[in-house]
């Protein structure tokens, strides 16, 4: 009976038209619903969701690896927020403000392509670069900063 049930289950999966979506639970306060990807892959500390013509990557910001030779523990949130706010950048030590300014230039962040939103106590800040067809956004929670990178058209952002 077990063997027959197993075979029927496999046939049901092979010949059924199933629509799938998933939920990525980031914390007890936040979850992300996503459509069925062609592939989900773990690469290092990043989770990659691959679709036909776009993809997105998720990771938790590690303050020790934002820059190879600099440990940003304790200032990582302020540093990342400084990409999107020159007032915050001006409060950083000069060397860190210079790194922030350089990063803004590399990412192609401009006041026109910044998007900000708030979900309860959670801040979400990001940008989309039309030229590179990619965008990044950061989710600032009390205990962690999360990073998403989207590669594809602006509709996917």
pLDDT, average across residues 95-118: 95
Residue 11 has pLDDT above 50, yes or no: no
pTM over 0.85: no
* pLDDT per residue as tens digits for the range 32-42: 888 889 999 99
Q: Which of 123, 125, 139 is nearest to 84 (CA)?
A: 125
The three-state DSSP-derived secondary structure of 17-33 is CCCCEEEEEEECCEEEE
Calpha distance 55→70 (Å, rounded): 29
Residue-level pLDDT at 34: 84
Q: What is the mean pLDDT of residues 44-53?
A: 91
Buried b (16+ CB within 10 A) or exposed e, 138-150: bbbbeeebbbbbb
């Amino acid at each position: 009976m077990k063997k027959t049930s197993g075979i029927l289950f496999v046939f049901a999966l092979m010949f059924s038209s199933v629509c799938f979506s998933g939920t990525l639970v980031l914390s007890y306060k936040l979850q992300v619903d996503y459509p069925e990807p062609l592939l989900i892959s773990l690469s290092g500390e990043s989770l990659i969701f691959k679709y036909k013509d776009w993809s997105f990557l998720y990771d938790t910001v590690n303050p020790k690896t934002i820059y190879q030779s600099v440990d940003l523990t304790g200032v990582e949130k302020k540093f990342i927020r400084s990409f999107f706010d020159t007032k915050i950048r001006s409060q950083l030590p000069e060397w860190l403000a210079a790194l922030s300014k350089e990063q803004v230039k590399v990412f192609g962040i401009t006041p026109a392509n910044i998007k900000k939103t708030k979900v309860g106590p959670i801040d979400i800040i990001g940008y989309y670069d039309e030229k590179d067809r990619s965008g990044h956004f950061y989710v600032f929670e009390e205990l962690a900063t999360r990073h998403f990178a989207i590669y594809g058209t602006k509709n996917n952002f």
